[in-house]
Amino acid sequence: MNRGKFGGGGKSVPGENLKAVDWTQSNMQPVVKQLYRKHEDVARRSDAEIDEWIAENEVTLENKNIPRPIFQFTEASYPGASLNYV
């Protein structure tokens, strides 16, 4: 089948000229994702206030090291204008 000048007619294989990477020769730093930034209002909220909110809203928590709850979207530390879409 002749596809003319629009491509697809050649015999090249995408990526055929790529070379394998020897990762043992690379000195890469680990990527650390720090997505949670505690809002100042969340940090100031007392444990008693959080416990009261959890009881009033019948919240069940599992696991350990759970971040302090946010009570409003503005406390979520979303970047830039992204709160306009929530």
Query: What are 6's two structure tokens?
Result: 């629009």
At 53-84, the pLDDT tens digits run 999 999 999 988 888 899 998 888 777 777 77
SS3 state at 68? coil
Alpha helices in 1-86 (DSSP H): 40-44, 47-56
Identify which of 66, 74, 86 has the alpha carbon closest to the alpha carbon of residue 39.
74
* 8 A C-beta contact, residue 48 and residue 29: no
Domain ranges of the chain: 37-86
Q: What digits encode the pLDDT tens for the residues 9-59?
A: 667 888 889 999 898 888 888 888 877 788 999 999 999 999 999 999 999
pTM equals 0.51
Cα–Cα nearest to 55, from 63, 65, 47: 47
